[in-house]
């Protein structure tokens, strides 16, 4: 995956539970949160709220983490250590 993507704009769409990102190259990326979240192992099932809050409040960060190997897992693990 190209880690040098330039994300211009991103938004969370609750109706489709997805993040839509404009890359500025006449292209968009769509991240299905349900699919991305399914790769994360939660210590507590309610920890999924960390990912939904991230998707709603910081969709570009969510997208960037989703593109990194273990990015979303590392985020949830870090939130649990707070």
Q: Which tokens in the block code for residue 39?
A: 């790769």
H/E element, 29: strand 28-32
Give per-residue pLDDT as tens, 37-75: 999 999 999 999 999 999 999 999 999 999 999 999 999
Strands 18-22 and 9-13: antiparallel
Residue ranges of the domains in the chain? 9-80
Q: How far apart are CA 37 and CA 28, in angstroms?
A: 20
The DSSP bridge partners found for residue 23 are none
Which is higher by pLDDT, 9 or 53?
A: 53
Q: What is the predicted pLDDT for the residue at 1?
A: 45
């Amino acid at each position: 995956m190209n880690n040098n993507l330039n994300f211009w704009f991103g938004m969370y769409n609750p109706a489709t539970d997805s993040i839509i990102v404009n890359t500025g190259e006449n292209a968009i990326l769509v991240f299905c949160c349900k699919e991305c979240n399914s790769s994360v192992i939660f210590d507590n099932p309610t920890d999924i709220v960390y990912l939904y809050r991230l998707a709603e409040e910081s969709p570009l960060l969510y997208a960037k983490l989703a593109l990194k190997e273990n990015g979303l897992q590392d985020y949830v693990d870090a939130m649990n250590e707070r």
